[in-house]
Structure 1
Amino acid sequence: MADNYNLPPQAYHQQDDEIDLKELFIALWKGKWIIIFTTFVFAVGGVLYALSQPNTYKAEAVLASANDNKSGGLAGMAAQFGGLASLAGINLSGGGTDSKAMALAILQSRQFINAFINKYDLMVPLMAGEKWSELTDTLQLDSEIYDSQTKTWVREVEPGKSPIPTDWEAYKEFKKLIAVSESKDNGLVTLSITHLSPTIAKQWVDWLVIDLNAWVKKESLDETRRNIGYLEEQIQKTSISDMQSVFYQLIEEQTKNLMLAQVQDEFAFKTIDPAVVPEEKAGPKRALICVLAVLLGGMLGMGIVLIRFAFTKKD
C-alpha cells in the first residue's frame, strides 16, 4: 500500500480509467432487471409489429431473350449487307444496342411503367391496397386513402398537392414491387411482382410480359419501316443500276424482317416458365423481425446499464 502512495498522479488516472471485466459483469448482473424489461418491451413490440404487417406474395416468370441469335434494324442490315451498302455509299454500321439490355431498360423505364399503369387502370390497387382477403380473393382498400363508394381519393397530402396520386408517385410505388434479375450462367431473365394479392401479382407479371413484347415489337416495326422508306428515297436519288440493285436487296431483306415481326408475338422475350398464383407468402419475415427486436432490446438494456455504471464509477 505504501508503494501506491508514491505513484505519480498520472498512474492514479491510469488505474481509474482501466476497465475491470469483473466489475462490468457485476454491473450487468445488478442491472439484469433493466435488461430483462427492455428486452421484453422490444420483444412484445416486435411481435405486435410483425403481426400487424399484411402478407405479401411474389409471382415470377422466367424469360429467355427471343433475339439472341438475331440482329435487327440497321445493325442487322450492316451485318448481312455491309459490303453492298458501302458500294452504294451508305453507312449502315450505326452503333447497335444489345436487344435484351434495351428491352430490360424499357421494362423499368418510367414511360413504360406509367403507360402500363394507365392502360390497366392500376392506380387504385397500386396505391390504396391494404390487405388481401383469402376467402373472397379480393383486395381490400384503405379507406383513409381511397373511398371505394364514391370512387374518390381521400388521402391526406401536404398543402398544395392533390389527393390524386401523380404518375411519379405511381412509378416509385411500382418500382418497389417489380424485380428483374438476369442469370450470369445462362442469361435467363426472372421477372417478379410482389403484391398483397397473389392473384394480382400473377396477373401483373403476365401483363408485363405481353406489353413489353408488344412495345419492343412496335418500336422495331417502326424502325424497319423507316429503313425501308430511307432506302426507297435513295433509289429515287440515283440512276446507277448497280446502286439501285443494292437498294432493292436491302429493301427485300427489311421487308422479310417486317413480315416475320408482324406474326411474332413473343418478340423480345419467350416465356420459359410462366407465372403462377403463389400459394406461400413471400413476406413479411415475422420470425426475423421478432429476433431482431429481442436483440435490439437486449443491446439497449445493456447499454443503459453500462452507461449508468460508467457515470457511477466517475462519481
Structure 2
Amino acid sequence: MNRHALSQENTSYDDEIDLKELFSVLWKAKILIIVTTSFFALSSVLYALSLTNFYKSEVILNVAGESNALRSLSGMGSLASMAGITLPSSGEDKSAIAIKTIQSRAFLKHLITFENVLPSIMASKSYDFESKKIQFDPKIYNENNGEWVRKPGKNQQSKPSYLEAFCCDDNTYLNQVSIFRDKKTNLITISVEHISPIFAKEFLELIINEANELLRNRDLQESSAAIAFLNTEIPKASLITMKDAINMLLQSQLQKQMLAKVNKEYFLKVIEPPFIPEVKSKPTRALICIYGTLLGGILAMLWVLMRHYISGSLKSDLNA
C-alpha cells in the first residue's frame, strides 16, 4: 500500500512539473504568441470585410392535389393507358416532380431566356443600394452593350451556356437556388441567395411562375391528346358500360383542363410568398474573426511547444 501511494504521489508530482514547464515555455514566448495571434486576428478581420454580402429570399409551397374525379378513376388504368392518360396512383409523388423540374437543366435553359437572368447569375460583382442595381464584372459582361467579354475556356464560348450556368461554381444556378422538402408536412421551401435582395425575390417569383406554367402546359397537352383519342373511341364502343367509362374519363380530362386554365397556381400553391430580405444571410463575419483569431493562437502555441521539445531532445541526444 505504501509503495502504491508513493508511486501515485510521484506521478502527480511529475504532472505538476510538466504543467509548470508547459506554462513557463508559453510565457517566455508570449510576445511571439501575441504577435502571431494579432496577425491572424487582423487578417481575419480584413478577409471578413472583403467578403460580399448575400441576401436570401424564401418561399413556402404546397403541391396541389388531384381532383376527386381523377382519384375515382384508378380502376380504369388499362383504358386510360390506351388514351395516353396518366391516372393518379399511390406511388405518384408530385412534390418530387416539382423539385426535379426546378432542379433540371432544361428548366434553367428556359429561365435564362428572360432578360438579365444569365448575367445576374454568372457576372454579378456587387450591388448598389442607392440605385438598387447589380454591378456586373466588366471582365465578364459589358452591361452597356449586353455583350459577354470574358475569355472562354476550352470548348466554351464567351456567352456561358445553360450547362455551364447550371452547377459546379459559386456563380451558378444550383449554388444560388436551394430546395428543401419537409417529409412530414410535404411542404416545399425554395430559397434564392444573391448579392441583390431584389433579384433574389424576383428570381424566386420567376422560378415559381415558370414552373407552374411549364407543368400546366404539359398537363394541358396530355389532356388534349387524351380527349381527342376518347372522342374517337366513343362511336366504337358497343357496350353501355364501356361508353360510360369513356364518358367518365372525358369528364375527368375536361375538369383537368378547366383547373389548368383558370388556376394560376395550378401545380405549386404559395403558402408564404417571396420577400425582399433586409438582413444579409452571409457571411458571418463575427465567426470568421473569432475562428481566425483562435486558429492563430493555437498555431502559435503549437509552434512554440514543438520548437521547445524538439530542441530539448536534440540537446539530450548530443549530451548522450
Question: How high is the TM-score relative to the length of structure 2?
Answer: 0.81
Correspondence for 2:44 among 46, 71, 95: 46
8 Å CA contact 2:259–2:266 kept in 1: the answer is no
* Aligned counterpart, 1:61: 59
Alpha-carbon offset, residue 158 of structure 1: 3.7
Output the CA distance in 1 between the equivalents of 2:309 and 2:225: 78
> Match of 2:251?
252
RMSD between aligned residues: 2.8
- Corresponding letter in the other structure for 2:139: E
- Quick one: distance in 2 between partners of 1:282 and 1:121? 23
Give 1:131's match in structure 2, choosing from 118, 121, 126: 126
Partner of 2:309: 310
1:6 alignment counterpart: none
8 Å Cα contact 2:74/2:88 also seen in 1: no
How many angstroms does 1:130 deviate by?
0.8
What is the CA–CA distance in structure 1 between the aligned matches of 2:209 and 2:146, rounded to whole Å?
29
**Aligned residue number for residue 118 of structure 1:** 113
Change in 2 beyond 3 A, CA 1:87/1:279: closer
Q: In the superposition, relative to structure 1, how do residues 309 and 57 fare at CA in structure 2: closer, same or farther (>3 Å)?
A: same
Unmatched tracts of structure 1, length 5 or more: 1-18
**5+ residue gaps, structure 2:** 1-16, 315-320
Alpha-carbon distance in structure 2 between the residues aligned to 1:107 and 1:198: 21
- Distance in 2, matches of 1:290 and 1:25, equals 26
Aligned to 1:11: none
1:98 counterpart residue number: 93
> Residue 284 and residue 83 in structure 1: after superposition, are their counterparts in 2 closer, same or farther (change >3 A)?
closer
Q: Per-residue deviation at 1:141? A: 1.2
Q: How many residues align?
A: 291
Which sits farther off after the overlay, 22-31 or 195-204? 22-31
Q: Assess if the C-alpha contact under 8 Å between 1:60 and 1:192 holds in 2.
A: yes
Q: Could you tell me how far 1:215 is from its partner in structure 2?
A: 1.3
Does the CA-based 8 Å contact 2:63-2:268 persist in structure 1? Answer: yes
Q: Is the 8 A contact 2:80 2:87 kept in 1?
A: no
User: What letter is aligned with 2:73?
Assistant: F
Separation in 1 of the partners of 2:79 and 2:130?
70
Alignment of 1:115-264 (within 5 A): 115-158=110-153, 161-172=156-167, 173-235=172-234, 238-264=237-263
- What's the CA shift for 1:150? 4.2
What SS does the corresponding residue of 1:181 show, helix, strand or coil? strand
Q: Which amino acid aligns with 2:27?
A: W
1:87–1:305 distance in 2 versus 1, CA, 3 Å: closer
AA partner of residue 36 (structure 1): I
User: Equivalent residue for 1:24?
Assistant: 22
User: How big is the shift at 1:303?
Assistant: 2.1
CA contact 1:87–1:243 (8 Å) conserved in 2: no
Shift of 1:51: 0.8
Of 221-230 and 286-295, more deviation after overlay is shown by 221-230
Task: Give how far 1:226 is off.
Answer: 3.1
What residue number does 1:33 align with?
31
For residues 270 and 130 of structure 2, the distance between their equivalents in structure 1, rounded to whole angstroms, comes to 31
Q: Distance in 2 between matches of 1:178 and 1:238?
A: 51
CA distance in 1, matches of 2:173, 2:128: 21
Query: Percentage identity across aligned positions?
Result: 35
Aligned-residue offset at 1:125: 1.4
